[in-house]
Amino acid sequence: MKIGIVCPYAYDVPGGVQFHVRDQARELRRRGHEVSVFAPVETEYSEDGFVNAGKTFAIPYNGSVARLAFGPRVAARTRQWVTTSDFDILHVHEPATPSVSLIALQHARCPVVGTFHVAIERSLLYTLGKPVVQSVKEKLSAQIAVSSEARRTLLRYQGGDAVIIPNGVDFSAFDEAKPSSIWSDSEQSPVFCFLGRLDEPRKGLAILVKAIPLVLARFGQARFLIAGPGSASRARADLAPYGENVQFLGPLSEQDKLSLFKSATAYIAPQTGGESFGIVLVEAMAGGCLVVASSIPAFEAVLEQGSLGEIFISEDENSLAEKLLGVCENRQQAAHLARRGHENAKRYDWSAVTDQVLEVYRRCLAGSEQDPPG
């Protein structure tokens, strides 16, 4: 098939939707399909099969910052790409986002699949944009939601049901990664890691910062590795008294992320909300790392209510500390739970996820062939 995939966010800025589009395109190409990815960028970015939609604007959104592209020049470029590419199918991510996804949907001439990623309780942007989206939404031949939470948001703001197909991971890359001799744990020193934007409140670093002293007061051998972009000067100052027990790693390369999850005893996910899935949980599980996550619905779903990892009460540092101390004091039980998570993560491998996506494509194409002319 000749497939067009649209990402509404800056493609060269790390993010869950961007990684989803990149990895999905790679797997489709590996299977012999011709794939063109269309997205805005912040830099002079290029790769095979990528088409630049233009520059972006920073828009505060869902507790973070979304970098979106719009305006006459972007609209013209999007229209040209859609109408001249002769795609068999167009796959638009976040069709309700006022960026190139919505523009591409307006000009589509082939069956269109929309994937919805966002999980949000209230959104003025979604509410105001609903009339615009509804005017072109009939062009969607099928809808995919990456999780139950994303499906719930779709039903609330846009209507129409969706099949749930989760985010994917390259399971073998995490499974076969090599641990770092610097970061690896030992029987005496469990290693806990955090990975996320340090200055984004919903990522929950402030909760972890309060829990660390509670853990070290009872188990002084524990080590904490805190990785991700952002300064987090307050967190660094608060944790400075704990010396070598706490290390700030800064932003990580993809290879270092693989090694981190392979080295650590447990990955801590203290996010306070705004998560529709939690792909980083699955990445940690694929690396054999136990996940200790907050009790937000998306994380509870991935960890199957605690059968695949530990769940603590969201925004409660005491609850988090108790879970971490449980890991310190019963390493055998923690390892058993980590193995269960690791085994379950196989079902999120891109090979399995892409099978499901291709089935949706085939149903859309079959449906379009049955439609009467005109």
In terms of domains, do 279 and 364 share one?
no
| pLDDT over 60 at 371, yes or no | no
- pLDDT tens digits for range 353-364: 999 999 999 999
In terms of domains, do 321 and 176 share one?
yes
| pLDDT over 50 at 374, yes or no | no
pTM of the complete model beyond 0.85: yes
Mean predicted confidence (pLDDT) in 331-338: 96
Radius of gyration of the chain (CA): 21
- pLDDT tens digits for range 289-312: 999 999 999 999 999 999 999 999
At 134, is the pLDDT very low, low, confident or very high (cuts 50, 70, 90)? low
In terms of domains, do 122 and 228 share one?
no
In terms of domains, do 65 and 192 share one?
no
Mean predicted confidence (pLDDT) in 32-59: 87
In terms of domains, do 54 and 71 share one?
yes
Greater confidence (169 vs 72) lies with: 169
In terms of domains, do 101 and 141 share one?
yes
In terms of domains, do 95 and 192 share one?
no
Structure tokens at 195: 């990975």
In terms of domains, do 137 and 215 share one?
no
Greater confidence (219 vs 59) lies with: 219
Identify the pLDDT of residue 157. Answer: 76
At 95, is the pLDDT very low, low, confident or very high (cuts 50, 70, 90)? confident
- Count of domains forming the chain: 2
Identify the pLDDT of residue 3. Answer: 98
Q: With pLDDT > 70 as the criterion, what percentage of the chain qualifies?
A: 92
| pLDDT over 70 at 180, yes or no | yes
Of 31-45, 52-66, 166-180, 190-204, where does mean pLDDT reach its minimum?
A: 52-66
Identify the CATH number of the domain in which residue 112 sits: 3.40.50.2000
In terms of domains, do 140 and 199 share one?
no
Task: Give the C-alpha separation, 55 to 81, whole Å.
Answer: 16
In terms of domains, do 122 and 231 share one?
no
Identify the pLDDT of residue 133. Answer: 65
| Domain encompassing residue 44 | 2-168+349-370
Mean predicted confidence (pLDDT) in 31-55: 90
In terms of domains, do 150 and 181 share one?
no
In terms of domains, do 70 and 201 share one?
no
Of 66-70, 274-278, 293-297, 341-345, where does mean pLDDT reach its minimum?
A: 66-70
Structure tokens at 301: 């779903």
